Amino acid sequence: MAASPALERDPPLPALGAKRPPIVVGVTHPQTCLVLGARLRALREAGFRVTVVSGPGELLERTAARAGVEWVAIPMRRGIAPLADMLSLLLLWRLLGRLKPEVVEFSTPKAGLLGTLAARLRGVRRRVYLLRGLKLETTSGSKRRILLAAERLAARCAHMVLCNSASLRDRALELRLAPPAKLRLLGYGSSNGVDVERFSPGPCDLRERLGFRREAPVVGFVGRLSRDKGAPELIDAFDAILAVEPQARLLLVGWFDAGEDALDGRLRARIERHPGIHCAGLVEDTAPYYRAMDVLVLPTWREGFPNVVLEAAATGIPAITTLSTGARDAVVHEVTGLLIPPGRPQAIAEAVLKLLSDPERRRRMGRAARAWVIEHYTEQRVLGLTTAYYRSLADPAAAQTN
């Protein structure tokens, strides 16, 4: 277990009193830190002493440094690993005993389970399980039963379950993860919101730098390249798109995930050899990549609330995503983009071709998408609701007087 030195540059916040209440934010894998920066910074600026916890990795350290918070690396396996999980639980229990946080927020399946359990065993006063999605939705049999039991235990150990979207809360209710009063949605959902200044329409020379022809339609994807994100269906659909739009290009912004839903070697090789596909890999600053797209496609099987759809919307790019849990909350059908059933390459191809053939419709949807995000999902709005909620947990009296 490794930790950073305490940072002394955190500003005071009188609303929470002279003492900066400690809060621990935990996730399983350092890749998740890619979406934590703004949330950590907002909590620090709201007056908390923030410690972020995840498995070891450069992304953990870099995210913590940029947000101005402390970090602790604790190895956690994403898969089922009883002995390793017991060690991770012990390390989390010891860490919480040392930090004595007023509030904890754990998310992602393994950290959610082990973190909330350790916090309950330690008697942490306020324990939040941030439900970012439900991995069990793409599993079956005994594995699904184990994951469902783990979700219920995590929710039981938490005093509140924050749901990332309205449809995710509905699904949690259907699965009886927790009583209705324990499942809460802040505002319209989303754990981060969008920086609408960073993600905004504007000029972009990325197409030229990637070697795309000026007139080539560009279909984009941002995220993990995995089965659960619908990558196999997207690749099949792209070949159908090429039959109608032979100059089209598929821009994949993301990494080949090594998790349990990893793509098989043959499909990965097919992607890497395909002359119409450009794999950008893991990109920290995705804003220019959205500007290079004509349409974003996220053919996912499960989500909590997809940040990438909101980022595309803020950039003025219409999105095509699925009716899956969480994803359907991120698009207003026929207004900001299109919703299709998951698992249907033909539906992906038809939706993409419908938008590529009508530039004015794309522009109209893009304008509506950006206006919708500005109304409901700005970073300031979403994180303002989050910090206000956590201030109320750390100091209910102060929250009532501010």
What percentage of the chain exceeds 70 in pLDDT? 94
Residue 184 belongs to some domain of the structure? yes
Residue 201 belongs to some domain of the structure? no
Q: Which strand (E) or helix (H) includes residue 314? A: helix 307-314
pLDDT score for 137: 96
The verdict on 17 and 155 lying in the same domain is yes
pLDDT score for 78: 84
Residue 96 belongs to some domain of the structure? yes
pLDDT score for 396: 64
CATH code (residue 58): 3.40.50.2000
Residue 60 belongs to some domain of the structure? yes
The verdict on 347 and 283 lying in the same domain is yes
Question: Per-residue pLDDT for 347 more than 60?
Answer: yes
Region 198-203: mean pLDDT is 94
Question: Per-residue pLDDT for 9 more than 90?
Answer: no
The verdict on 33 and 161 lying in the same domain is yes
The verdict on 115 and 262 lying in the same domain is no
pLDDT score for 82: 87
The verdict on 365 and 383 lying in the same domain is no
- Contact predicate 229/223, CB 8 Å: yes
Residue 197 belongs to some domain of the structure? no
The verdict on 390 and 335 lying in the same domain is no
Domain that holds residue 387: 2-192+379-401
pLDDT score for 4: 42
| Confidence band for 12, pLDDT divided at 50, 70 and 90 | very low
Number of domains in the chain: 2
Per residue in 156-165, pLDDT (tens digit) is: 999 999 999 9
Residue 323 neighbours by CB distance under 10 Å: 13
Residue 267 neighbours by CB distance under 10 Å: 17
Per residue in 93-129, pLDDT (tens digit) is: 999 999 999 999 999 999 999 999 999 999 999 999 9
pLDDT score for 359: 97
Q: Which of 364, 376, 384, 389 is nearest to 196 (CA)?
A: 376
Per residue in 354-398, pLDDT (tens digit) is: 999 999 999 999 999 999 999 999 999 999 999 999 999 998 654
Region 173-177: mean pLDDT is 97
Question: Per-residue pLDDT for 7 more than 70?
Answer: no
The verdict on 20 and 163 lying in the same domain is yes
Region 313-333: mean pLDDT is 98
**Which pTM does this prediction carry?**
0.90
Residue 57 belongs to some domain of the structure? yes
Average pLDDT, the chain: 93
The verdict on 182 and 233 lying in the same domain is no
Residue 198 belongs to some domain of the structure? no
- Contact predicate 267/291, CB 8 Å: no
Residue 388 belongs to some domain of the structure? yes
pLDDT score for 397: 56
Region 294-309: mean pLDDT is 97
The verdict on 164 and 229 lying in the same domain is no
Region 34-52: mean pLDDT is 96
Per residue in 253-269, pLDDT (tens digit) is: 999 988 889 999 999 99
The verdict on 133 and 238 lying in the same domain is no
The verdict on 177 and 308 lying in the same domain is no
DSSP E strands, 64-187: 70-73, 103-107, 126-131, 160-163, 183-184
The verdict on 40 and 174 lying in the same domain is yes
- Report CA-CA distances (Å) from 111 to 117, 119, 160: 9, 11, 16
Question: Per-residue pLDDT for 207 more than 70?
Answer: yes
pLDDT score for 400: 44
pLDDT score for 91: 98
Concatenated DSSP letters for 370-387?
HHHHHHH-BHHHHHHHHH
